[in-house]
Structure 1
Amino acid sequence: MADAKLKAAPDAEEAAGDKKKSKKLLIIGAAVGLVAAAAAAYFMLFAGGGEEKAAPKPGVVAPLEPITINLDDGHYLKLALALQATADAHEPPEGSKALDLAIQQFSNRSVAELSTNKAREQAKKELLKKIEEAYHHDVMDVYFTEFVMQ
């Protein structure tokens, strides 16, 4: 006859321990799920994971008087700007901040550094970013209406 091995039934303490382990796993799983759901909700609502923000509608264009900016090696830049306000802006933007930022952006640069279209476009992009922040996104674009180096 084959040796039959009998297995003892788990005692009450082991059964209770297994139940405690399964409850812990259930609680941990629920906590992880809750954290994942909260993170997904955050990204959907605050981090742009939901609908994309609509582009602002253009408002008035405010032309600014030309300014002369000193470049490197005795050269200068005559620059005139126009600021494209958003339709939500309550009044046309006052240009002092934009002109100050333009002076900071272009001062002491070389003529060679600003001679190519690519370099001017890059400088314009950087200037626009600073202007948008300075005007709390009431300005949506900047135009160079005059850009003369000598």
Structure 2
Amino acid sequence: MSDQRIMGNPSKAKIGQRSSPEPAEAATPVSKAKGKGRRPLVLVLVAVLVLGAGAAYWFVLGPGSSQTAATQVTEEVESEVELGIVQAVDPISINLADGHYLRLGLGLQLSAEVAEDLDPAKALDRTIGLFSMRSLAEAGSAEGREALKAELATQLKEAYEGEVVDVYFTTYVTQ
């Protein structure tokens, strides 16, 4: 009699032998339980992401946006005042702090009600008063320049009693 040995995977069925149920079936209920435990966690994460995206839209682009509110106010003011011509003011040199200077040219946006050019003396006086002795860092940075421009526009609206609607920089050179 010869002894026959089969080498290989003991879980494989031998020729002529019926296969027994795989041990994977016993593991199936455990894996289903794992999947059920993760489902609420995934749903909570999806809900948080959706709410976060909604909040970001609201504050950045939507009705809660400060940029939208500022744009609406600007549009309301501009819609109330009909725009006229832009009066150019010759560039001037203004002394800044620490021996630096600023060469600044202005354009005054007039309302449509103004029939003739305005005297630029008030605009130049307010401009010199606002920009004189500012630091180069303040006058040279984009944020500083925009803040000074907004302040100048406010002062010119008051000085010209509504005849000047806005101000534009036509020349802006620092040294």
Fold-level similarity (TM above 0.5): yes
Runs of 5+ unmatched residues, structure 2: 1-75
TM-superposed deviation, 1:83: 0.4
Number of aligned residue pairs: 99
Q: TM-score, normalised by structure 1?
A: 0.63
For 1:87 and 1:62, the matched residues in 2 are separated by: 12
Listed one character per residue, the Cα deviations across residues 39-94 of structure 1 (whole Å, up to 9, x for unaligned) are xxxxxxxxxxxxx7752111011101110000000000000001010001132222
For 2:90 and 2:150, the matched residues in 1 are separated by: 20
Q: Kindly, what percent of the aligned residue pairs are identical?
A: 46
**Within 5 A, what are the aligned runs for 1:78-97?**
78-97=103-122
Task: Select the structure with the greater relative contact order (CA < 8 A; seq sep ≥ 6).
Answer: 1
Structure with more of its chain in helix, by fraction? 2
- The aligned residue for residue 161 of structure 2 is 136
Letter in 2 for 1:98: A
TM-superposed deviation, 1:114: 1.5
- The aligned residue for residue 99 of structure 1 is 124
- The aligned residue for residue 147 of structure 1 is 172
Deviation >4 Å, runs of 4+: none
**Within 5 A, what are the aligned runs for 1:54-73?**
54-73=79-98
Q: What is the root-mean-square deviation of aligned Cα atoms in Å?
A: 1.3
**Which of 133, 144, 147 is matched with 1:122 structurally?**
147
Task: Look up the SS of the partner of 1:66 in the other structure.
Answer: strand
Listed one character per residue, the Cα deviations across residues 84-142 of structure 1 (whole Å, up to 9, x for unaligned) are 10001132222110011000000000101122211111100000000000001001010
- Is the Cα contact below 8 Å between 1:93 and 1:139 reproduced in 2? no
Runs of 5+ unmatched residues, structure 1: 1-51
For 1:105 and 1:112, the matched residues in 2 are separated by: 15
